[in-house]
Amino acid sequence: MSEIAVLSLRGVGFTYRRKTAAALTDIDLEIEPGSLHAVLGPLESGTSTLARLVVGLLSDRGEMTGHLEVHGTAVMLGDDPEAQLSGMTSRVADEVQLPRRLHGADSATARSCAEAALRSLGIEDLWPRRLDTLSGGQRQLVALASLLTLGPELLVLDQPSLSLDPAARTRLADALSDYRERGGAVLITGHQSDELTAVCDELSLLDRGRLLRVSEQEQSWTPAATQRAASTAALTAGGVWATAYTETTELASDSDTTPEAENLRTDVPPLLVVDRLRVVRGESAVLDSIDLKLRRGESVTIMGPNGAGKSTLLRGLLGLLEPTAECTGTITVGHLGADLRIDGLPSHERAAHLGWVGQDPGIQLSARTVAAELTTAIPLPTHRRRDRESVRAKRQAQVDEAMAAVELTGLAEVHPFDLDIARRKDLVAATALLSGATILLLDEPTLGRDQRAIDRLNLFIADFLHRGGAVLSTTHDRRWAYENAHRVLHLQKGRLETIDASVE
């Protein structure tokens, strides 16, 4: 006789208030103690809705039908894990101990649980660190460690690989396997298959709110490798992006959006030259003598472990580092046929040359609609009153063109924060077209994207390169980097090195 399921859904449906179409329909799902189950699907398939429904976060957002039951404590790491940091502490040690202290544990018990949680995720070295010195991936793992201290029976993870490097994803996969061995149950939801979904007992595909079982490990006669390949193929066909760069992954090297090295102009001056860039925080050099050149029409991607300084590098180019950080070196861009040093310029002047799309695009958005965001992205040019109508008409045409370039035309009147993270990134990228920036800086551009959103990103980049621009990206998505960059660089211990180059 099987154990009592930690999570049981029978005929569950959910419809958001003021929506006519159901977000979830007739969901049947059971997760027993000691099992890992991944439910994946494309954007708007209902994966995040399922995760939030399970932990009771949608009780006032709409109407549920069917039967849902959770035995034990269920906790969730959402698709915006940084929002789950308490804001009440400044150091990792205090943050991870806080949940147990709030539940009445004494200091010794809280410390022991916190140390064990950090150790299980392989981040015990972060114990003394300040939260504001951590990378996005490190903060994500700290938020997860805080949840683990509560010893939940069910752990719900919505897009848990966001911001994690491959090594961190592997460590998390091992930690979840250990958690399963201790009787814990895990539900993973998201839009991408990776190292975490590879260790799951079962995979399901969510398609427009309906659940389809993809694989079951009890089919022991099927070789594991064959089964994983078949599962990946089924998920890919369902619109899920497979991030893993392995023997079972077919790279789209013949894709129309893959950059072609022979089209690069090597007889023209570089569009961006970074010389001996150095960033020091306190007594530590985060970046040490970074040299980088970027040509017109070239896409360069930087990879590296969490905390290596990838985002710091982009922020250093933009002049957006915190005042206490010391940044030296020269940054030169090609401008009107000449070289222009921008390292001494304020960030708003650098933005005329460098278009930035950060990991969290929400901090770059402020208007009430998509159209308004683009309309007000940059000031109208100086003009006479009698020319105002024609100037505004020209701006509207530019806005329409930018929205079309990132497939946002039908979402012009939507509030930016009602968009998923991939669409928000697309919106911020569109502002670069309006600013006239010739260099795009993309920080983790594939976060939260399904296959269609990846294709949309690739087409946008290909068009930007075709127009003579250049793209510098940072990512943990090894497959995307190798399929779409002319050069892949590795950042570690403050220095850059080439790990793959099709352009010498």
Render pLDDT for 323-358 as a digit per residue (tens, 0 to 9). Answer: 889 999 999 999 777 889 999 999 999 999 999 999
**∠107-101-90 over CA atoms, to 5°?**
90
CA dist., res. 40 & res. 148, Å (int): 23
Residues 359 and 140: beta-carbon distance below 8 Å: no
DSSP 153: S
Give the β-pairing of 272-281 and 326-335. antiparallel
Residues 14 and 49: beta-carbon distance below 8 Å: yes
Domains of the chain plus CATH, in order, are 7-242 (3.40.50.300)
For residue range 234-278, what is the model confidence (pLDDT) as tens digits?
A: 677 778 988 865 443 443 333 444 455 555 666 678 999 999 999
The residue ranges of DSSP E strands in 255-412, in sequence order, are: 272-281, 284-294, 299-303, 326-335, 338-341, 354-357
pLDDT of residue 232: 64
Sign of the dihedral defined by the CA atoms of residues 172, 176, 178, 179, in that order: positive
What are the C-alpha distances in Å from 200 to residues 186, 216, 336, 346? 9, 10, 54, 48
pLDDT of residue 254: 37
Give the β-pairing of 36-40 and 185-190. parallel
- Token duo for residue 63: 């109407």
- Stretches in the chain below the pLDDT threshold 70: 1-2, 215-232, 234, 244-267, 499-504
Sign of the dihedral defined by the CA atoms of residues 433, 438, 444, 446, in that order: positive
Q: Which amino acid is at 366?
A: S
- Token duo for residue 356: 């930035």
Length reported for the chain: 504
pLDDT of residue 198: 87
pLDDT of residue 231: 64
- Token duo for residue 23: 């977000």
pLDDT of residue 251: 39
How far does the chain reach from its first CA to its final CA, in angstroms?
63
- Token duo for residue 346: 């304020």
Residues 404 and 463: beta-carbon distance below 8 Å: no
